[in-house]
Amino acid sequence: MVENYLKNDFQKDLLKMNLKHLECIKICGIGNCDKQFDSNTLFFGDQDWENINNDIKGIDKNNYKYFFICLFIIIVIDMGIYKYCKNYYKTFREKTMYPKFGNIGFGFSFGNPQKILSIPEKLNFISINVVYDVMENIVELFILECNKYFKENIPTISTNDFILNILNDRDMQPDGTSLILELFIKILKEKIIT
């Protein structure tokens, strides 16, 4: 089911999000952004994703079960490539054009990706009960998609090493605010070589 959603509906739902352009690009100038953003870079999130209701108002509530998890996964992959495979980020960015999660202050600040699961969970948009039975499939799809991307685009990067970097990142350490994140990480750790 999640694979079907990812291939057929997720991109449509992403386009329905109320994503914003980065105003800081106008100030820094195109090509001068230290984060490698450009005029096509879109973002969502703000401080504690206080605009979540507005950001997702166009998305069918029946899709929430998969939407937030898929959104979390693309943001984690994007942030992981940015942080751990910086030399390849520009190529990755050109192929994916994923939105960024964070907020504007004095420039752009990345948000903690845990909030993509914890805030919808806190607001009862998704729950552990709804995703529990599909989480193993979601994790397997995450690993499969990473394998596929690296084999086709950056064969020098090991999916296992990439995922270990993500799992060891301080922003991915569960803080008790998301049971869904804790389950995702638990299953992911079981599936990779540590």
| pLDDT values of the chain reduced to their tens digit, one per residue, 194 residues | 788 898 899 999 999 999 988 776 566 656 656 666 777 888 899 888 999 999 999 999 999 999 999 999 999 999 999 999 989 988 898 889 999 998 877 677 788 999 999 999 999 999 999 999 999 999 999 999 899 999 998 899 999 999 999 999 999 999 999 999 999 999 999 998 76
Which among 99, 121, 124 is positioned nearest to 184, based on CA atoms?
121
Find the domain containing 43 and state its range. Answer: 2-191
**Residue in the block written with tokens 């960015």:** 93
Structure confidence at residue 26 (pLDDT): 60
Structure confidence at residue 173 (pLDDT): 93
Taking only Cα atoms into account, the Rg of the chain, rounded to an integer number of angstroms, comes to 16
Domain count, the chain: 1
Which uninterrupted H or E stretch holds 168? helix 159-168
